Amino acid sequence: MENTGSYSFLRSRRLESFLNTNGNPTVKETPKALTKKEETERRGKAKEYVDDDGWLIGFVSCVRIITCFLTMMVTTFIWALIMLVLIPWPYERIKQGNIYGHVTGRLLMWILGNPMKIEGSEYSNTKAIYISNHASPIDIFLIMWLTPTGTVGIAKKEIIWYPLFGQLYVLANHLRIDRSNPSVAIQSMKEAVKAVLKNKLSLIIFPEGTRSKNGRLLPFKKGFIHLALQSRLPIVPMVLTGTHLAWRKGSLHVRPAPITVKYLPPINTDNWTADKIDDYIKMVHDIYVENLPEPQKPLGLDSSRMMNKIVD
């Protein structure tokens, strides 16, 4: 996997454990002793911030978002020119698209100013299928920044209509699928795998298929399992926590919530078989459930587990 000097610099910078900021979480004191259940719930809420809709906080948030947009306009324009020159060389466009993501994603996260921690970075250079939970626009910035050079994305075909990002996504030769037609989607997946194996690429995909409205993990689609079965690439889960608090869906208010990105060890898929797709989906989904804090776990999880124990 090839790297440029600027890319190496950015990758070394991102291995820093924390990004300094002046935002601090607000947690209410509990005067009495807590039960085990209450303690677990308290820890799950510890990273939440009390909403402050004051004009000053709103103004700072607005400035940050506008600055992000302007920054993205500048970097997108620069790399769009580079991509146009590289139209005859699709693989080079993919690499340049990754470098664009590393530069732009890192800049946007710096502008937003959220304290951030990265864990398991030793797994971040594996040639693999990278998957991530998705609950905030910030997830896109993180994925752009933290996936290795030589990674191609798979998204719905409508992404081309997203201002700036969608057009560059297509120019960077990333892959799109038609989710409205299952047979066409399957064929798109097969073509994606051929391109990945031919050019020795990695993949990045959101297995939930859409963004969670409240940060809680949604059921996984089967697409990433089909990709693994056809490519035999390992799966590297990226667990994102706190992004749903930092920038909530439908909101223009960015909060100083701490964010953690945790790479988990690669899941080997060499011996996977097509008759166990549902088992693999459940296994990977359960891995996420185990690594997410309580406020991001699926609702009704405890009751369903109790029912399973009763049946067993």
Is-contact 131 207, C-beta < 8 A? yes
**DSSP conformation letters of 146-168:** HSPTTEEEEEEGGGGGSTTHHHH
Q: What is the DSSP letter of 179?
A: T
Q: What's the angle, vertex CA 144, arms to CA 229 and CA 272, rounded to 5?
A: 10
pLDDT tens over the chain, length 312 residues: 444 444 443 444 443 333 333 333 333 334 345 455 444 444 444 444 455 556 677 788 889 999 999 999 999 999 999 999 999 998 889 899 999 999 999 999 999 999 999 999 999 999 999 999 999 999 999 999 999 999 988 877 788 888 777 888 888 888 887 777 777 777 777 877 888 888 889 999 999 988 998 999 999 999 899 999 999 999 999 999 999 999 887 777 888 899 999 999 999 999 999 999 999 999 999 999 999 999 999 987 543 443 343 334
CA–CA distance, 258 with 260 (Å, rounded to integer):
7
CA-to-CA dists, residue 107 to 16, 93, 112, 273, 300, angstroms: 15, 21, 9, 42, 38
CA–CA distance, 149 with 103 (Å, rounded to integer):
12
Number of folded domains that form the chain: 1
Q: Is residue 184 part of a domain?
A: yes
CA–CA distance, 178 with 87 (Å, rounded to integer):
23
- Residue 40 has what pLDDT? 47
CA–CA distance, 307 with 99 (Å, rounded to integer):
48
Half-sphere exposure of 10 (CA within 13 A, CB side): 24
Q: Is residue 117 part of a domain?
A: yes
Q: Is residue 241 part of a domain?
A: yes
- Residue 168 has what pLDDT? 84
Q: Is residue 41 part of a domain?
A: no
Q: Is residue 42 part of a domain?
A: no
- Residue 134 has what pLDDT? 95
Half-sphere exposure of 167 (CA within 13 A, CB side): 12
In the chain, the N- to C-terminal Cα span, in Å, equals 48
Q: Is residue 308 part of a domain?
A: no
Q: Is residue 301 part of a domain?
A: no
- Residue 29 has what pLDDT? 39
Closest CA to 263 of 248, 243, 241, 279: 241
Residue 264 structural domain: 50-293
Closest CA to 293 of 23, 41, 117, 38: 41
**DSSP conformation letters of 214-245:** SSPPPPPPSHHHHHHHHH---EEEEEEESHHH
Q: Is residue 113 part of a domain?
A: yes
The CATH number of whichever domain residue 261 belongs to comes to: 3.40.1130
- Residue 273 has what pLDDT? 96
Strands 235-241 and 259-263: antiparallel
User: Is the model's pTM score more than 0.85?
Assistant: no
- Residue 220 has what pLDDT? 96
CA–CA distance, 167 with 160 (Å, rounded to integer):
5
CA–CA distance, 99 with 157 (Å, rounded to integer):
22
Max CA pair span of the chain = 68
CA–CA distance, 252 with 160 (Å, rounded to integer):
23
Alpha-carbon 297 to chain mean position: 16
Residues 6+ apart with CB under 8 A from 275: none
